Amino acid sequence: MFSKKNRLSSAEFSRTIKKGKGYSSPALHVKLIKNSTGYIRIGVGVSKQLATRPTKRNYYKRILKNTLFAVLPEKDTPYDVVIIARESAGDKSFEELKKDAKDLLQKTPIFSK
C-alpha cells in the first residue's frame, strides 16, 4: 500500500481534479498534475452512481489502490494522480481493471520518461 507521504490531502485532490490533465478509458478516468515534492502522490475516487453503499465504494477504492500499486513505475515521478472509477468499472474483475489502468497510464507522461 501507499505510505502517508504518497496520499493526497483533500485540498490537493481538489486541485488535481480542477487543474490536472485528464485521460480516460471506458472504466476509469485519470487526472494528473506535476508537483514539486519529487515523488508521486495518489488519490482515488468512486462515485455514488457506481456504488450506493459506502462499503462497496470502499471496496472499489481498495481495488483501485492495489491496481495502482501494481501498475505504477518503481521510480519516483513528481506527479499528483487522481483515479476515478466510472460506472462500467463495476462490471470488471480485478485483472481487467489492472489491465485497463495499465493501458490508460501508458498514455500519460508518468511512463513516457
Structure confidence at residue 90 (pLDDT): 81
DSSP H or E stretch at residue 80: strand 79-85
- Predicted confidence at residue 20, as pLDDT, reads 92
Buried b (16+ CB within 10 A) or exposed e, 76-96: ebebbbbbbbbeebeebeeee
- The whole-angstrom separation of Cα 47 and Cα 85 is 7
Residues of the chain with pLDDT below 70 are 1, 74-75, 112-113
Q: Quick check: helix, strand or coil at residue 71? A: helix
Buried b (16+ CB within 10 A) or exposed e, 20-35: beebebebbbbbbbeb
